[in-house]
Structure 1
């Protein structure tokens, strides 16, 4: 993971993406690049589509598109405090082999509530666009 003193690289793939309603939660974090994860994850719509839920799988994973931001400790703590309940920071493996911090959701809760798997949409922003057009 590329990191300088006091900052970390954070992978954003949901409602804090550019153009999404929670982008302001990144405050003035520095946008680094668009990227994708390695195909090791699944993406679900949690809480009736309120936010994404990603977790790592052993098989049948997809590459999740997202954005990398460089965040200070204060920016990261603010983001973490504003994430939905149960989300937790962990490392995600990117398509180029690098890692970044991402917010995952417990797979057990996704399965418990049977939240829809939206992996086939090609990312959170694509899912929101597709479902907005329908609804």
Structure 2
């Protein structure tokens, strides 16, 4: 099963966690310290390669059907599916900032945690 790193509202306790369904939580972890982290229009987070932030999130095992039919259709237009590096050096699917996306965003790399930013 593919592994999906979540770092926004689909994490446990978030408004969109229902999109994960009964997928098992593999770990609470961070990305490798090579990303920038943004709040896009203050509504959703976005990872972007090229920084030094280790972004907090949760790793789930999701079926391809769950990804294709439930989780991905619920993602904002400014994001796309990509592959990231986790703190342990392994890879994972994740939603990343779509290249060329021009919506207003705030760099929150110094916080690197969506829940902390929102609180």
Deviation by residue 1:7-31 (Cα, 9 ceiling, x = unmatched): 2000001111111111111111111
Query: 1 or 2, which has the higher helix percentage?
Result: 1
User: Mapping of 1:40-79 within 5 angstroms?
Assistant: 40-47=34-41, 49-57=42-50, 60-77=51-68, 78-79=70-71
Give the superposed CA RMSD.
1.3
Of 19, 41, 47 in structure 1, the residue corresponding to residue 13 of structure 2 is 19
> CA separation in 2, counterparts of 1:51 and 1:85?
11
What secondary structure is seen at the aligned counterpart in 1 of 2:22?
A: coil
Which runs of 5 or more residues in structure 2 are unaligned?
none
Which runs of 5 or more residues in structure 1 are unaligned?
1-6, 130-135
User: Mapping of 1:121-132 within 5 angstroms?
Assistant: 121-129=111-119
Deviation by residue 1:82-124 (Cα, 9 ceiling, x = unmatched): 1011311111101101111000012532xx3441111112311
Structure 2 length normalisation: TM-score? 0.92
Larger Rg: 1
Cα distance change on mapping 1:113 and 1:87 into 2, 3 Å: closer
Of 106, 109, 118 in structure 2, the residue corresponding to residue 119 of structure 1 is 109
Query: 1 or 2, which has the higher strand percentage?
Result: 2
2:95 aligned with 1:99, yes or no? no
Structure 1 length normalisation: TM-score? 0.82
> For this pair of structures, how many residues does the alignment match?
118
